[in-house]
């Protein structure tokens, strides 16, 4: 059941300020402490966190409060006790590119974290001083004009961060203090003014019957995808590689600009088991609903899932069960899943005391598709952060291929597109290195009236081009019906 929300268009009235007088006084003290520790070229983060009274919707606050062009970030998994994270604005931004991009951002974030002056609240993961990060699929990806503003690897500390678990919501206010910031009261005023201006109203309503003409087309014709699959199968049968994932793009042009807030609300209502995400940069928003966790790090424990092998859903429960059972018995799909599970376990092994993979895959069912999934857990031996773990795992064979070095060279040649952040990863990490990153699938890049949707399939020796094309159509149904009117 969805939560009741106030009448559309009326900001919520809050009986208390977003930040109490005590929190603002604490922030003033933190700014002074940060200034004392700041050095030329080495600014220090100051941060305060406070639990808010009542129930709140972090995504609704961010969407209602953001100014045009202002950066924003949302990541939710509604079915997991209403877990939601959202960020507004940018206090600090770090970029990287190339094969060392994950490690580079990990090192720089760790250095900032060690000197940060912040709260450590007794709260669920993701509460407090947090950085959000997103990575393109390729080490040098997201370079085409369509992906302007995203980059190959980007880490930001939001000016305002909201985290919810169950009915409890926390707000964090972040400020970057340089060694030559002499007017700390001005810094405090800017931060508290931003927080005081936050609004909360329901996400925009989705128009189920929009007026105007929608056009849907593929930059590359469907036959191009079938030919790419056929060529990949030839390479696999020749022994060059074991598996490769090939994607395609479908574009939707709407009569009016796509509304990312309305799309986000539809996705979280239709796919509550998935990670629902939105990353806004300038006039563009990367948005989607992915079932795939790349890695979750909680202290010395890491968890993930090998998600590969899929089939459609059916409205008839008996047919739906039959489809699921057929998927579980499919040698082709079980092999595809095993390839992914083996690689993930191998990647985690150097950091772990032990790695355990579920002996048999299970079914994960979302609204329009069902997958084979093999849960994987690891006990870590060293203090490796979530960013570094994400880099060790990305790209898994579920989005790249096996062997990785062969597949990553072959993918752009066969696909003929810049994947950008599609099949990359995004998520958050805290000052202790804990965090959570999902694989950016079932997604679209929204920019004004244009939406570019992406979907891909794992190609193995027994793959048939027509069947793989049909599977991309199933996966596109997460967003295509929402965006095409």
Q: Which residues are catalytic?
A: 243, 292
Q: How far apart are CA 95 and CA 101, in angstroms?
A: 8
Identify the CA nearest to 140 among candidates 157, 130, 153, 158.
Answer: 153
Q: How far apart are CA 449 and CA 428, in angstroms?
A: 29
Task: Please answer whether residues 143 and 121 qualify as being in contact, where contact means their C-beta atoms are separated by less than 8 angstroms.
Answer: no
Q: Return the percent helix, strand and coil in the chain, to nearest 5.
A: 30, 30, 35
Residue 216 in tokens: 């849907």
Q: How far apart are CA 63 and CA 182, in angstroms?
A: 33
Region of 298 please: left (phi>0), alpha (psi -120 to 50) or beta: beta
Residue 253 in tokens: 């042009």
Please count the other Cβ atoms lying within 10 Å of the Cβ belonging to residue 45: 23
Q: How far apart are CA 369 and CA 340, in angstroms?
A: 19
Task: Please answer whether residues 429 and 133 qualify as being in contact, where contact means their C-beta atoms are separated by less than 8 angstroms.
Answer: yes
Q: How far apart are CA 218 and CA 213, in angstroms?
A: 17
Three-class DSSP category at 469: helix
- The conformation of residue 152, written as its DSSP 8-state character, comes to S
The string of DSSP codes covering 178-206 is: -TT---HHHHHHHHHHHHHT----PPPPP
Identify the CA nearest to 46 among candidates 141, 127, 128, 150.
Answer: 128
Q: How far apart are CA 75 and CA 134, in angstroms?
A: 12
Residue 242 in tokens: 């074991």
């Amino acid at each position: 059941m969805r939560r009741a929300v106030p009448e559309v268009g009326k900001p919520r009235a809050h009986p208390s300020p977003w930040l109490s007088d005590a929190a603002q006084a604490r922030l003033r003290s933190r700014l002074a402490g940060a200034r004392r520790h700041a050095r030329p070229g080495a600014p220090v983060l100051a941060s305060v966190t406070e639990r808010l009274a009542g129930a709140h919707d972090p995504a609704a606050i961010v969407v209602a409060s953001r100014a045009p062009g202002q950066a924003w970030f949302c990541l939710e998994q509604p079915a997991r006790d209403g877990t939601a994270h959202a960020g507004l604005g940018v206090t600090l931004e770090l970029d990287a590119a190339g094969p060392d991009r994950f490690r580079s951002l990990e090192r720089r974030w760790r250095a900032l974290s060690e000197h940060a002056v912040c709260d450590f609240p007794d709260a669920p993961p993701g509460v407090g001083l947090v950085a959000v990060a997103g990575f393109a699929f390729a080490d040098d990806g997201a370079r085409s004009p369509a992906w302007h503003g995203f980059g190959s690897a980007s880490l930001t500390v939001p000016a305002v961060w909201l985290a919810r678990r169950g009915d409890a919501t926390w707000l964090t206010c972040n400020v970057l203090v340089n060694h030559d910031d002499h007017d700390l009261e001005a810094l405090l005023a800017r931060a508290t003014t931003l927080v005081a201006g936050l609004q909360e109203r329901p996400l925009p309503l989705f128009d189920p019957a929009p007026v105007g003409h929608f056009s849907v087309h593929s930059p590359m014709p469907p036959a191009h995808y079938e030919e790419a699959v056929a060529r990949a199968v030839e390479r696999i049968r020749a022994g060059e590689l074991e598996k490769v994932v090939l994607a395609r793009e479908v574009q939707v042009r709407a009569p009016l600009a796509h509304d990312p807030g309305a799309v986000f609300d539809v996705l979280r209502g239709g796919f509550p088991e998935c990670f629902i995400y939105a990353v806004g940069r300038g006039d563009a928003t990367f948005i989607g609903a992915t079932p795939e966790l790349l890695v979750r790090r909680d202290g010395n424990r890491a968890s993930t899932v090998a998600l590969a092998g899929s089939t459609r859903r059916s409205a008839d429960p008996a047919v739906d069960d039959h489809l699921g059972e057929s998927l579980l018995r499919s040698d082709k799909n079980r092999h595809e899943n095993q390839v992914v599970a083996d690689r993930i376990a191998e990647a985690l092994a150097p950091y772990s005391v032990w790695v355990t993979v579920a002996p048999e895959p299970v079914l994960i069912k979302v609204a329009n598709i069902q997958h084979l999934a093999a849960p994987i857990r690891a006990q870590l031996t060293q203090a490796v952060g979530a960013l570094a773990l994400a880099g060790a795992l990305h790209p898994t064979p579920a989005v790249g291929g096996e062997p990785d070095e062969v597949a990553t060279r072959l993918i752009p040649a066969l696909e003929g597109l810049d994947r950008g952040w599609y099949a990359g990863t995004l998520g958050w990490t805290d000052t202790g290195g804990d965090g959570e990153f999902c694989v950016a699938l079932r997604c679209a890049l929204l920019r004004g009236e244009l939406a570019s949707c992406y979907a891909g399939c794992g190609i193995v020796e027994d793959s048939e081009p027509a069947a793989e094309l049909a599977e991309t159509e199933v996966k596109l149904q997460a967003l295509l019906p929402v965006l095409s009117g």
